[in-house]
């Protein structure tokens, strides 16, 4: 599927401490209208291990409720872009999301975590000088980033725990 793709609405509330930013939803996610819908994407497994919840076993709506209960929010660095397929390398004509505006609306925000290099390259400049929260670049949960084993990714993702305590 080619053409302009758009991100979903942010999943946050006033208690959000950690905001995880992807780049732009892949094809499976766009078709399902759900964050991280590709079953090969390790996002739900990684984050579930971080917060000690079996997110993979939960229905999607319950996953989102569980994230919010643990003070974790989701969004994407890219608001819309053109892309053929699901690879971040194919993203063109980027219109970023208003990340600084969202961050300013989250009084308890402690960390913005970028899920992968593309999210960081687009999102970090949007947040330059935007607040006292930390920025953390995580290894991508995408199946395209399979060179790094799950355990190695998890070691980095567990850094989120200190912001949730």
Name the residues annotated as catalytic: 41
Whether the CB-CB separation of 20 and 73 falls below 8 Å is answered with yes
Task: Provide the terminal-to-terminal Cα distance of the chain, rounded to the nearest Å.
Answer: 41
Half-sphere exposure of 54 (CA within 13 A, CB side): 2
For residue 159, count CB atoms less than 10 angstroms from its CB and return exposed for 0-12, middle for 13-18, buried for 19 or more: middle
The single-letter DSSP state of residue 11 is: B
Rounded Cα–Cα distance for residues 133 and 105 (Å): 13
């Amino acid at each position: 599927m080619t053409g302009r793709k758009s991100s979903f609405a942010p999943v946050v509330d006033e208690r959000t401490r950690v905001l995880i930013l992807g780049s732009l939803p892949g094809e499976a996610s766009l078709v399902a209208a759900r964050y991280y819908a590709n079953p090969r994407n390790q996002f739900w497994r990684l984050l579930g291990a971080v917060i000690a919840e079996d997110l993979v076993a939960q229905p999607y709506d319950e996953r989102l409720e569980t994230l919010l209960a643990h003070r974790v929010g989701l969004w994407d660095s890219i608001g819309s872009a053109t892309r053929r397929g699901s690879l971040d390398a194919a993203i063109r004509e980027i219109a970023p999301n208003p990340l600084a505006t969202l961050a300013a609306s989250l009084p308890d925000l402690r960390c913005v975590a970028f899920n992968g290099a593309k999210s960081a390259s687009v999102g970090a400049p949007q947040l330059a000088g935007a607040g006292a929260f930390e920025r953390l670049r995580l290894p991508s949960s995408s199946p395209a980033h399979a060179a790094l084993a799950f355990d190695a990714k998890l070691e980095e993702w567990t850094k989120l725990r200190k912001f949730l305590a």
